[in-house]
Amino acid sequence: MLKTASHSQPNSQPNSQPNSQSDSRPDPHGGLSPSLLMTSLAAPLREWLPRQRWFAGKGRPLTDLSVVSMTELHPGCLHLLLRTGHAGSPEHCYQLVLGVREELPPRLQHAVIGRPSAGPLAGLSVYDALLDPRSAGLLLERLRVPGAAGPLRFERDAHTEIPAGLAPRLLDGEQSNTSLVYGDSFILKLFRRIQYGINPDLEVPWALAGAGCARVPAPVAWFWTTEPRRTTLGVLQPFLRGATDGWTLALRSLAAGEDFGDESYELGRATAEVHLALAEVFAPGPPDRRGDGRLAAAMTGRLESAARQVPALAPYVSRLRAAYDDAAVSGPDRPAQRIHGDLHLGQVLRAGNRWFVIDFEGEPARPLAERRRVQAPVRDVAGMLRSFDYAAHARRPWQPDWAGRCREAYCAGYAAEAAWDPRAEAALLRAHETDRAVYEALYEARHRPDWLPVPMAALARLAAEA
Ligand SMILES: Nc1ncnc2c1ncn2[C@@H]1O[C@H](COP(=O)(O)OP(=O)(O)O)[C@@H](O)[C@H]1O
Ligand SMILES: O=P(O)(O)O[C@H]1O[C@H](CO)[C@@H](O[C@H]2O[C@H](CO)[C@@H](O)[C@H](O)[C@H]2O)[C@H](O)[C@H]1O
């Protein structure tokens, strides 16, 4: 049984055994060194990367591109961890699965990355192999039959049956990562922007499943790399067939002029249930001691850093600081605990009449260590409240009353389950909402500049009220 792997003891070495899929040939890359590979790939990748939704360096010239690790998954299919650098910014690392063919058939034209004009791949077609059903199928096979390929390790929960040959399809829609759905039975999420270490999107659902929390789909297989250090790369979990995400449901409700109060109330209950389970399985931390000003200082630091990257924030900085200072008053110092960390309507799925919570990665722009830290549970509440505001903005004209009713109902549902009401901690909630909107401004500026006005409108409001 492989259940002892990366989850229950995230800092221990896993038990994976090489199997028949492991590369046993003396030179798995056929003489292709990473630097030689980049003589072919640098030019097409410079064009292609900035067009990807998950690429966090939009609008900033790419100064460096280098290979962190390179593994042949099967002939003509390379797994890459790629380091990117931008002048004056920290480096990022991305996961790519590249296919190489002489000619791309028409059905794969949408996956093309480029046709290198130099180096060992000159004249060949390079493409995103996750869009190729053959490579996607072979990836599932790797997970089904645990083992190693170069530095990559594939593991699974031996108790869950994963049938062979499930047909893959790429999940369409807006995503920060890339997900493949297999036979409507499983969904594999490949993390695109990689931060070294165990990803909370594997760690947290695994722990919650172990504690019997039925609000979260449990991981059934996963893969990770040993290079440059142990890092989660992808997670397979059951696909909730026929589920609809909260964002889609909220927009439908707005379009139909309907109330979303009952749904919001149930969502509040589901959030509290997950929080209670998290408090049970992960050790709590010392409360945010608001009185000592550390919380306000941390939020102010994030605001100032975001304002350096998003100039539109600058006019609001001094007023927004006041919202943080307001929170730095004495109040119930609730213990900090592991939370979702990036809770919004896109992270909740309703299947049947039940809400599920997914995507425990936390805010992708934050350092991994920070995302795995204990935080105030009110932060997740603030995230969802912001999401009602996003939905209300997505429908013209802006519908603040709809959002207001959702907020009240959501908090009431949370209070019914958690036995404390987030609304009773108004200043703290407001500070977290502001901090969250600052994060959103940074996220939108980097990934979806057209959406920047939504968090900016909230920040203008919050600043005016401060
Ligand atoms: N277990 C699941 N069952 C059904 N759909 C899922 C499941 N997990 C994720 N999804 C779908 O995939 C989308 C993206 O998943 P998510 O984990 O939020 O990825 P990302 O972090 O890349 O945004 C979700 O909005 C949802 O529509
Ligand atoms: O991709 P993730 O789900 O990990 O989260 C990131 O992308 C989200 C957008 O897809 C972003 O969420 C923001 O936009 C949503 C509407 O599309 C809205 O419901 C959220 O409230 C808002 O924060 C999220 O912040 C980001 O981390």
Q: Domain with 347 in it: what CATH number?
A: 3.90.1200.10
CA nearest neighbour of 157 among 275, 292, 267, 6: 6
What is the arithmetic mean of pLDDT over 91-95? Answer: 94
The reply to whether ligand 1 has any atom less than 6 angstroms from the CB of 176 is yes
Q: Which of 254, 342, 379 to mutate to test the pocket of ligand 2 (most atoms within 8 A of CB)?
A: 342
What single DSSP character describes residue 285? B
The encoded tokens of residue 146 equal 């645990």
The reply to whether ligand 2 has any atom less than 6 angstroms from the CB of 342 is yes
What is the arithmetic mean of pLDDT over 412-418? Answer: 98
> Residue 109 pLDDT > 50, yes or no?
yes
Supply the pLDDT for residue 329.
Answer: 64
Supply the pLDDT for residue 29.
Answer: 52
> Residue 12 pLDDT > 50, yes or no?
no
Number of residues written out for the chain: 466
Predicted confidence band of residue 289 (pLDDT cuts 50, 70, 90): low
Edge-to-edge strand list for the sheet holding 231-238? 147-149, 152-156, 221-225, 231-238, 186-190, 178-182, 168-170
Q: Which of 175, 194, 241 to mutate to test the pocket of ligand 1 (most atoms within 8 A of CB)?
A: 175
In the chain, the largest separation of any two C-alpha atoms, in whole Å, equals 67
Local structure of 152: helix, strand or coil: strand
Q: Does 16 reside within a domain?
A: no
In the chain, the number of structural domains is 2
In order, the DSSP letters of 61-75 are -EEEEEEEEEEEEET
The reply to whether ligand 2 has any atom less than 6 angstroms from the CB of 443 is yes
Q: Where are the beta strands (DSSP E) in 87-200?
A: 89-101, 112-114, 125-128, 147-149, 152-156, 168-170, 178-182, 186-190
252 sits in which H/E element = helix 246-255
Question: Given 238, 271, 301, which residue is the final one in a domain?
Answer: 238
For ligand 1, atom 26, the nearest C-alpha belongs to 245
Are residues 174 and 122 both part of a single domain?
A: yes
Are residues 281 and 195 both part of a single domain?
A: no
In the numeric block, the tokens 């799925």 are attached to 349
Predicted confidence band of residue 6 (pLDDT cuts 50, 70, 90): very low
Q: Are 348 and 310 in contact (CB under 8 A)?
A: no
Local structure of 94: helix, strand or coil: strand
Supply the pLDDT for residue 83.
Answer: 96
Strand partners, 238: 186
Q: Does 1 reside within a domain?
A: no
Supply the pLDDT for residue 196.
Answer: 96
The encoded tokens of residue 95 equal 């996961």
- pLDDT winner (highest mean) among 6-15, 265-274, 282-291, 438-447: 265-274
The reply to whether ligand 1 has any atom less than 6 angstroms from the CB of 359 is yes
Local structure of 248: helix, strand or coil: helix
Considering every ligand atom shown, identify the ligand nearest to the alpha carbon of residue 202 and give its number. Answer: 1
> Residue 10 pLDDT > 50, yes or no?
no
**pLDDT, tens digit (0-9, with 9 covering 90-100), for 129-163:** 999 999 999 999 999 999 999 999 999 999 999 99
Averaged confidence pLDDT in the chain: 89
Are residues 198 and 330 both part of a single domain?
A: no
Question: Given 192, 217, 238, which residue is the final one in a domain?
Answer: 238
Are residues 266 and 209 both part of a single domain?
A: no
CB atoms within 10 A of CB 143: 22
Alpha helix ranges (H) inside 21-154 = 34-48, 133-144
The reply to whether ligand 1 has any atom less than 6 angstroms from the CB of 346 is yes
In the numeric block, the tokens 């990562």 are attached to 177
Supply the pLDDT for residue 1.
Answer: 25
Are residues 262 and 401 both part of a single domain?
A: yes
Are residues 390 and 456 both part of a single domain?
A: yes
Supply the pLDDT for residue 327.
Answer: 75
Ligand 2 centroid to residue 147 C-alpha, Å: 34
Q: Where are the beta strands (DSSP E) in 354-406?
A: 354-357
The reply to whether ligand 2 has any atom less than 6 angstroms from the CB of 345 is yes
What is the arithmetic mean of pLDDT over 302-312? Answer: 95
Q: Does 342 reside within a domain?
A: yes
The reply to whether ligand 2 has any atom less than 6 angstroms from the CB of 363 is yes
CA distance 384 to 368: 21
> Residue 77 belongs to what domain range?
28-238
pTM for this prediction: 0.90
Ligand 1 centroid to residue 461 C-alpha, Å: 31
For ligand 2, atom 21, the nearest C-alpha belongs to 387
CA atoms within 13 A on the CB side of 226: 13
**pLDDT, tens digit (0-9, with 9 covering 90-100), for 200-236:** 999 999 999 999 999 999 999 999 999 999 999 999 9
Type of residue at 18: P
Q: Does 333 reside within a domain?
A: yes
The reply to whether ligand 1 has any atom less than 6 angstroms from the CB of 171 is yes
Q: Does 163 reside within a domain?
A: yes
**pLDDT, tens digit (0-9, with 9 covering 90-100), for 341-379:** 999 999 999 999 999 999 999 988 889 999 999 999 999
Least confident of 16-20, 119-123, 330-334: 16-20
CA distance 315 to 354: 43
Are residues 198 and 290 both part of a single domain?
A: no
Supply the pLDDT for residue 255.
Answer: 95
> Residue 465 pLDDT > 90, yes or no?
no
> Residue 287 pLDDT > 50, yes or no?
yes
Regarding an ipTM greater than 0.90, the answer is yes
Are residues 305 and 403 both part of a single domain?
A: yes
Collect all residues with Cβ–Cβ distance below 8 Å to 202 and sequence separation of at least 6. Answer: 6, 7, 219, 222, 232, 235
Q: Does 21 reside within a domain?
A: no
Are residues 219 and 325 both part of a single domain?
A: no
CA nearest neighbour of 81 among 190, 7, 182: 190
Supply the pLDDT for residue 57.
Answer: 75
Are residues 76 and 193 both part of a single domain?
A: yes
For ligand 1, atom 13, the nearest C-alpha belongs to 175
Collect all residues with Cβ–Cβ distance below 8 Å to 207 and sequence separation of at least 6. Answer: 7, 281, 282
CB atoms within 10 A of CB 130: 24
Are residues 344 and 438 both part of a single domain?
A: yes
| Closest atom of ligand 2 relative to the 389 alpha carbon | 21
Q: Does 222 reside within a domain?
A: yes
The reply to whether ligand 1 has any atom less than 6 angstroms from the CB of 357 is no
Question: Given 197, 219, 238, which residue is the final one in a domain?
Answer: 238
| Closest atom of ligand 1 relative to the 347 alpha carbon | 18
> Residue 421 pLDDT > 60, yes or no?
yes
The reply to whether ligand 1 has any atom less than 6 angstroms from the CB of 95 is no
Supply the pLDDT for residue 331.
Answer: 60
**pLDDT, tens digit (0-9, with 9 covering 90-100), for 169-208:** 999 887 889 999 999 999 999 999 999 999 999 999 999 9
Q: With pLDDT > 90 as the criterion, what percentage of the chain qualifies?
A: 76
Q: Does 23 reside within a domain?
A: no
Q: Which of 202, 233, 343, 349 to mutate to test the pocket of ligand 1 (most atoms within 8 A of CB)?
A: 349
Supply the pLDDT for residue 87.
Answer: 78
What single DSSP character describes residue 230? -
Q: Which of 443, 446, 452 to mutate to test the pocket of ligand 2 (most atoms within 8 A of CB)?
A: 443
Q: Which of 52, 170, 189, 251 to mutate to test the pocket of ligand 1 (most atoms within 8 A of CB)?
A: 189
Ligand 2 centroid to residue 350 C-alpha, Å: 17
Are residues 146 and 283 both part of a single domain?
A: no
The encoded tokens of residue 157 equal 């929960």
What is the arithmetic mean of pLDDT over 26-40? Answer: 75
Rounded to an integer, what is the distance from CA 104 to the centroid of its chain? 31
CA distance 212 to 210: 5
Supply the pLDDT for residue 30.
Answer: 56
